[in-house]
Amino acid sequence: MYENLLKTVTNLGSPKILVVGDFMLDVYLYGDAVRISPEAPVPVLKIAKTEYRCGGAGSVVGNLAALGATAYCLGVIGDDRNGDILKDRLTKTDSDITGLFEATNRPTVSKQRLIGLAQHLHRQQLIRIDEESTEPLSELLAQKMLGAYEQRLSEVDVVCLQDHDKGLLSDSLCRRMIELAVKANKKVLVDPSPTGDYSKYLGATVITPNRRETSAAVGFEITDAETAARAADELLHRLKLEAVVITLDREGAYLKTQETGRMIPTRARSVYDVTGAGDMVLATLATSLAAGCDWETAVQLSNIAGGIEVEKFGAATVTAEEIADEITGRNAGSNSKVRAVDSLVQELERHRQQNKTIVFTNGCFDVLHRGHIEYLGFCRQQGDIVVVGLNSDSSVKTIKGPERPINDQIDRSIVLSALEMVDYISIFDEPDPLKLIKKVKPDVLVKGEDWAEKGVVGREFVESRGGRVALARLVEGRSSTATIEEMKSLEARS
């Protein structure tokens, strides 16, 4: 199963997704809670940093971009500073914002969170201040929205409706959008409003309510797999859906289709913040289904993506690379050396504080041989911590051709993890490792001596930071390509 998951997440492509919904600006004000106010029994927050993120439907857009999809935004914002900031953040994701209409009579929906340090150690949300209008759109604005929707529909692969009940997705507009999408043979994914009245989603492809929202919609509490199954079955038939995905936090998700119904479990997590988890699930489902995968695979990937997201603070994005690393790490054992980039960077910072020398090298490491072992041994001699950038399967195909790699990235990472001279492995998709090198910031960059004339990728960056490049002697006649060709020759002779 893990091979199918990995193959899917590394081949999501660049689907076009139309996101319709309530676009919001999330504002985070970070500071130290230094004392109690003399005016009232409340903490005084000394602001150190202000951060802006895309929220609501904007969070879905950010997650789609992180997964490699192209998002088209369709919604309403205010003619105000928050709207300008939100448009700027969305533009930086390379998403199309021409479908964001400005309304002079309503503000950009914003959620301002004041974040203090709990016991001077951990971030803790102290209060949230919301600015919004939930009034229905004017008839003129609703018609503009519908016109833009019809114009975009033929260009996209999937439609996402992200409904926060802020007055945009009215019953009539929602129903009409679903009708048009069905007529155009487009899948419609709905993250429903918390109101409990789901009748306006009739005929959509799938809805993705959480436990609380589902309970409100069906009129009974979702406490276990049995009640989840009963609720999913009711929603599936009542709304004439293709599927229902009920997210059940630490238990995973319940998937119901016309053919099957089953619990899709997830790995236990250290939940830091559930903000944005539903947005991540919707984005992953949309991208996976657009790539042509089945319901079960799509939900499994969404579980993984949502799980990674809740370990981050606030509404955060999750990349396809992080999902792939999670899959690889799960199947390499609990002591896997495989790390997602963000996790790797944090661990390397800890090593730097201990004055450890970070060594980086990269390669395909497809069919391991003596040359690889001596090469990695050379890396170990150059410092304290050896990080291997491992080319992903898609990256190897780009470099070596469609018949490579012989061993997939999970198998290659497991073999490398077994070597004592390797401390960490990070899988990257690009043809060269420059992007990864800039994040790792190694003290020593190692390549084979055959790169002396070709030019070592990352040399300028490493040397500009006071680091150095070391060229390893190659073992003559030993290479993966030579080994593979010899095996082919033996097979042909036999």
Catalytic residues: 279
- Where would I find the beta strands (DSSP E) of 148-303? 158-162, 187-191, 206-207, 243-247, 253-257, 261-264
Q: Output the CA angle 448-453-459, nearest 5 degrees.
A: 65
Q: With contact defined as beta carbons under 8 Å apart, do 187 and 224 qualify?
A: no
Tally of residues, the chain: 494
Instruction: Name the 3-class secondary structure at 127.
Output: strand
Tokens of 92: 């930086």
Q: With contact defined as beta carbons under 8 Å apart, do 341 and 439 qualify?
A: yes
Q: With contact defined as beta carbons under 8 Å apart, do 413 and 425 qualify?
A: yes
Distances (CA, A) of 50 to 4, 30, 46, 55, 310: 41, 6, 12, 15, 21
418 Cβ neighbours under 8 A, 6+ residues apart: none
Cα gap 285→8, rounded to integer Å: 12
DSSP state of 356: P
Cα gap 50→27, rounded to integer Å: 7
Give the sign of the dihedral formed by CA 252, CA 256, CA 259, CA 261: positive
Buried b (16+ CB within 10 A) or exposed e, 263-291: bbebeeeeeebebbbbbbbbbbbbbbbbb
- Closest Cα partner for 110 from 80, 145, 136? 80
Cα gap 449→462, rounded to integer Å: 17
Q: Are strands 444-448 and 70-78 parallel, antiparallel or unpaired?
A: unpaired
- Closest Cα partner for 96 from 51, 68, 65, 142? 65
Tokens of 465: 């930071």
196 Cβ neighbours under 8 A, 6+ residues apart: 213, 216, 217
- CA-atom Rg of the chain in angstroms: 25
Q: Output the CA angle 31-35-40, nearest 5 degrees.
A: 110
- Closest Cα partner for 198 from 253, 158, 237? 237
Amino acid at 309: E
